[in-house]
Structure 1
Amino acid sequence: MPKAHGRRKATFAQERIVFAIAAAMFIVFAIALPGFLDAGNLLSLVQSVSILGILGIGMALTIIGRGIDLAIISTMAMSVAWVLFLISQGTPVYLAILYGNIFVVLVGLLIGFLVAYAEIPAIFATLAMTTAIYGFTRVALVDIDLVFLPDSASWMRNFGAGYVFGIPVPVIAFAAVALLAHLFLRYTKLGVFIRAMGDNPLRARSAGVPTRPIILLQYVLSASIAFFAGLVLATLVSTMNTRVVNSTMVYDVILVVVLGGVVLSGGRGGIVNVIVGTLLIGIFLNGMTIMNISYSVQNLIKGGILLMAIIIDTILNPRDEQTSQQGDI
């Protein structure tokens, strides 16, 4: 018990440190970067941060349960591209969204089956599924890179680009997903099972936790959250570019989760960690964009930060002998 208390205390300390760094960075950028405090830039910041945060929550749910979902961006992009394509072909909006939701649930179940029952390490299963989802969708469902929100469904733009009481809808969507995920992890039996399985899968199994079905649940939740994030993004910019699958966006999502304090070995961290990590990375990326730092240099910086975050996570949360026997995440 004292050891667990110490881990929770360290995680809480990391949350505060990351939040302090984000606040300090915001102040420095506000003073040093012309245009940072412009209304248009701040609006772009909160919208992009919200979408990144929603994806981070989906990723965190898998990592807390001792997994990882490298297919989260592919799931988001290809499912929503298909929904927009269906709408453009005359399918009613509610039916197109239903089909898209069924698609991501099947994707989540397939990934979960590969990890839980075929016992393929999650990092390899989801990496392979990234290409499989993209290839299948391009061949069988959508054969174009850029899919636009049709004029017949222009009212959907209110979902991504609208406001409620002056608050951008993406921010409200992020807050809603964060609240629901927090309540799920903390107060539901399934959420407790996910955390227990991530902390010690052998002990959880011995205690009667249905670990294989829980793994299925993790990836269905991750895929569903990715689909929701994609709908917010697509209705914000009125399009979905399927080439985002080949971008570094998935690493931004992992960076948000790891920097925020969700432990890669599983079992520790929560939604608050994702929120503070999202704030830090969102402000940082926005500042680099204003400074006109090239995309390649940004990727170099982000890669270095991610590597340092993983090293620090490994030092602060060493994998014990029992953890090591479980293989890669």
Structure 2
Amino acid sequence: MNKFKKITSSSMFLPLFALGILLLFNIVFVNDFLAISMENGHLYGRLIDILSRSSSLIILSLGMTFVIATSGIDISVGAVVAISAAICCMLIGGRGDGIPEHPMILAMLAGIGIGVICGIWNGLLVSKIKIQPVVATLILMVAGRGIAQLLTQGQIITVYYKPFSYIGANIPGSILPTPIFIAALMVLLVILILKKTSLGLFIQSVGINPTASRYAGINVVLIIFLVYAFSGFCAGVSGLIESSLIRAADANNAGLNMEMDAILAVALGGTLLSGGKFYIGGSIIGAITIQTLTTTMYAIGVSSDQLPVVKAITVIILCLVQSKKFQTVFNSWKNKRQSQKVVDRT
């Protein structure tokens, strides 16, 4: 009994439970959900697609986890994905002969770099100018797609340079899609940062009480600035993956609504939206769960227009569950049940 209580109280229980329910539903109602085949040396199947398509969201969720842990929010990441994709594709060029106008590595660095610059912009507004995070990042959320449209001159830039497609598909000789490896590297980077530095503790401290953190000698302004810059970095990497998947820069649709998915993944992973303690593992599972939910909705015939409604309801439920009022009522109910059990035994 104690073991069961320990498992259910774990931060990983909710995301794993939600993912398990979705997988069970798919196994029962979706044909060939577990089927995996090998074609031309590459693995194919719904499970592989879920892992591949969730890679961008996992990367975004890593940055969003740190931002939310500091009691912030970054609703501009979807627009930053579009800007990053536009810069990268614009530099490679859309020449039909398949010859890039600039080296692909330069274009990739520029795409990631512009993401970091956008993160720095958000970080300055929040940490230095003290604008509310949702307002500060709303500026770039609104203006970002306009910037991407200006860069592409309102056109969809198609990239014919074949190696560019390897970022979002498969590198020759690899059985798994490249995005899975990119996401794994990003997760490894975050784990190394948390293990080798005290940044994780500083982020939690700032999220719980920034004033006390400042008196304790923590540079609160720098910590907040860094988490937004890292969020921009993650959005820049995701922009490369998203543009490579379609081999084009689509300023209108690249990264559309991904900020909502990233926030939902972090919340589902157990990180409180009010800030404080965070769970990287939970965010990763949450991102995979969100992508599984998306795949499930499409599989059972739910249109893309209706999908945001399902996700919005999920966000509302998570916010209610995480609220102090709900926690108080739930703990009161649990204590009453325990007291009743003691009375029954006596």
Q: Would the TM-score normalized by the shorter structure come out above 0.5?
A: yes
Which of 135, 141, 145 is 1:130 aligned to?
141
Equivalent position SS for 2:323: helix
Residue identity matched to 2:302: I
Cα separation, 2, equivalents of 1:232 and 1:20: 29
Q: Distance in 2 between matches of 1:47 and 1:119?
A: 37
How much has 1:246 moved relative to structure 2?
A: 8.1
CA contact (8 A) 2:261 2:287 kept: no
Question: What letter is aligned with 1:199?
Answer: I
**Which residue of 2 is the match for residue 321 of structure 1?**
none
**By how many angstroms is 1:11 displaced?**
9.6
Deviations 1:181-225 (A, max 9, x none): 133234313333222211211111111111112211111100111
Supply the AA of the counterpart residue of 1:94.
Answer: I
1:80 pairs with 68, 79, 85, which one?
85
Tell me the equivalent position of 1:162: 170
Q: Which residue of structure 1 lines up, in the alignment, with residue 131 of structure 2? A: 120
Find out whether 1:275 has 2:284 as its counterpart: yes
Residue 69 of structure 1 pairs with residue 40 of structure 2? no
**Contact 1:21 1:280 survives alignment (8 Å):** yes
2:122 matched to which residue of 1?
111
Q: Distance in 2 between matches of 1:143 and 1:61?
A: 34
Aligned: 1:52 with 2:57 = yes
1:21: which partner in 2? 18
3-state SS of paired residue (1:244):
coil
Kept after mapping to 1: 8 A contact 2:83/2:147: no
Q: CA deviation digits over 1:236-277, x for unaligned, max 9?
A: 332232112683322111111101111111121221011121
Q: 1:308 deviation in Å?
A: 0.9
Number of paired residues? 307
**Is structure 2 residue 198 aligned with structure 1 residue 189?**
yes
Q: Is 157-166 or 112-121 further displaced after alignment?
A: 157-166
**Which 10-residue stretch deviates more, 274-283 or 120-129?**
274-283
Q: Which runs of 5+ in 1 are unaligned?
A: 1-8, 319-329
Structure 2 alignment gaps of length 5 or more: 1-5, 37-44, 95-100, 329-346
Q: Are the aligned partners of 1:160 and 1:236 in contact in 2 as well (CA < 8 Å)?
A: yes
Given candidates 82, 103, 116, the residue that maps to 1:92 is 103
- Aligned twin of 1:229: 238
2:222 corresponds in structure 1 to 213
Q: Secondary structure at the match of 1:243?
A: coil
Check conservation: 1:18, 1:260, Cα contact below 8 A: yes
Contact persistence 1:265–1:317 (CA under 8 A): no
Q: CA RMSD in A?
A: 2.3
1:146 paired residue number: 156
Provide the rounded CA distance (Å) in 2 between the counterparts of 1:58 and 1:64.
10
Q: Aligned letter for 2:267? A: V
Q: TM-score, normalised by structure 1?
A: 0.86
Distance 2:155 2:208 in 1: 41
**CA distance, structure 2, for counterparts of residue 246 and residue 232 of structure 1:** 10
Q: Which of 296, 305, 308 is the aligned partner of 2:305?
A: 296
Aligned to 2:97: none
TM-score by length of 2: 0.82
Q: Secondary structure at the match of 2:305?
A: helix
The equivalent residue for 1:3 is none
1:177 and 1:260 map into 2 onto residues whose CA distance is: 17
User: Runs in 1 of length 4+ with deviation above 4 angstroms?
Assistant: 9-12
Kindly indicate which of the two structures has a greater share of residues assigned to helix.
1
The one-letter code sitting in structure 2 at the alignment partner of 1:247 is: L
**CA distance in 2: counterparts of 1:67 and 1:109, whole angstroms:** 14
